[in-house]
Amino acid sequence: MRLGLGIFGMQSVPQRPDHHVKLYRDVLEDAELAESLGFDSIWLSEHHFWFDGYCPADIAVAGAILGRTTRLGVGTAVMLLPMHSVQKVADDATTMSRLGEGRLTLGVALGYRDAEFDGFGVRRKDRGKLMDAMLPRLAESCAAAAPPVAVYVGVATAIAAQRAARLGLPLFADSTMTPQELRDMLDAYNAAAAAAGVDPPSTHALQRDVFVTDDRERDWAMLLPELRYMRRQYGGWSFPQEPEESIPFYLQRLESDIEAKLKNLIMGDAAYVSARLREFEKLGFDLIVCRSQFGNLPRESLHRAFEGLSRVREVVST
C-alpha cells in the first residue's frame, strides 16, 4: 500500500490566518519533508473565489513542488474539471509530466459549489454532461503524454463511479464514505465496467482524514475547531437545503451531518492507524491519501503528525 500526504489548500483560515506568501512557502517545505520521510506523494486541493484563499490552481503549485523535490509524486485531489478547459488541462499536464519526470497525477471530479461554476460561466446542472465529454479527452491525452499521466476520478456516488468504470479509470474515493458505501460503490463500478466491456483497474485511491498521535487528548483539543471549520465549509457548500426548509432547521441538520462526518477521522498511534488503513487495502484501495492538514494547523503539530504517519507508511508499505 502507498501513502500520500494531503490535502493542501493553503487556506488562511479565520482561527489561524497567515499571509499566502507564507502558506505557499510552507507547502513547499512540507513537500520536502514528505519526500525525506519517504511518502509516495503529496496532494493538492482546488476551490475558487473563497474567502480564505483556498488554492485555485493546483498544477501551478504542483510545478513548484516538482521543482523543489526529486522523487515525490504530486497529485490533484481533486481538480474540478467541468470548470476548466479540458484542452488547457491536458496541455498543462503533458508538459508538467515531462518536466516532472512522470511524477504528476491528476485526480478530477465534478465540483459542487454554485458560485464557482457561476464565476466561470458554467451551469452547475451541466457538470455531469461536461464531465462525460471532458473525461475521455483528458484520459486520452494523459495516456499519450510522455511520461503518461495517471488520471483518477474523484467519486462519492455510484453514478460517478460508473462514469469512471466505462473509461477504465481508477477511482479516487471521497474521505467521508463508510466501508459499506465503498463496497457498494466498487460493486457498481465493476458492474458498469463489465457492462461496457472494459477491463478495469483492480486497485483504487482513497482519501481519508488521518492524524497520528501519541497524545490523543492534546491533539483532539487542537484538531476539533479545525475539523469543525473544514466540515462547516464543505458542508455549507454541498449539504442541500430542502425547498421551503427554514434556515434554523437546515443549520441543525447540517450540524448533525458534520458531527457524523467528524467520526470518520482515524486518530491514534501508528499501530492503530496502520490497522485501520489495512481495512481499506482489503477493499481494493492501494493508495491512501491521508489528510492530516486541516486548514492551517500549527507547524509543529502538523510535522509531528507527518512523522507519525511516516511510521505508519513503514508498516503498511511492506
Partner 1 sequence: MRIGLGPIALKNATRIQLESFGREAVASSFDAMWLSESRAEGVGGGLAAAALLAQAVPIRVGAVIDAGLYHPLHLAEDIAIADLTSQGRIEVLLRFDPEATSRYGASMAREWCDDFLNVLALALSGAHFQWNGKHLKVPARIEANQPAPERLALNPATAQPAVPIWIEASDMWMAELARERGFGLARNFTPGTPVPAANGRWTGMLLCPNDVHPAAALAAAGDLGAYFVVAAENLAQVTSAGRRLAGPLRMPDFPAWINQQQ
CB atoms within 10 A of CB 245: 11
d(CA 297, CA 178): 26
Of 40-59, which residues contact partner 1 (CB under 8 A)?
48-51, 53, 55-57, 59
Give yes or no for residue 115 binding partner 1 (CB under 8 A).
Answer: yes
Rounded Cα distance, 176 and 157, in Å: 11
How far is 248 from 76, CA to CA, in rounded Å? 35
Tell me: does residue 278 bind partner 1 (CB under 8 A): no
Minimum Å gap between C-beta 50 and partner 1 is 7
Point out which span in 94-102, 164-172, 226-234, 269-277 binds partner 1 (CB under 8 A): 94-102
CB of 210 to partner 1, least distance (A): 26
Measured between alpha carbons, how far is 236 from 224 in angstroms, rounded to an integer?
A: 17
Q: Under the criterion CB under 8 A, does residue 125 sit at the interface with partner 1?
A: yes
| Distance of closest approach, residue 30 Cβ to partner 1, in angstroms | 13
Nearer to partner 1, 11 or 162 (CB): 11
Three cell numbers written together for 268: 491514534
| 50: nearest Cα among 14, 24, 77 | 14
Does 100 contact partner 1 by CB under 8 A? yes
**Residue 91 in the binding site for partner 1 (CB under 8 A):** yes
The CA-atom distances, in angstroms, between 94 and each of 66, 78, 214 are 14, 17, 42
Q: Which is nearer to partner 1, 108 or 266 (CB)?
A: 108
> Cell for 146?
510522455
Q: How far is 114 from 122, CA to CA, in rounded Å?
A: 9
Query: What residue ranges bind partner 1 (CB under 8 A)?
Result: 10, 12, 20-21, 23-25, 28, 48-51, 53, 55-57, 59-64, 66-68, 84-85, 87-88, 90-96, 98-101, 114-115, 117-125
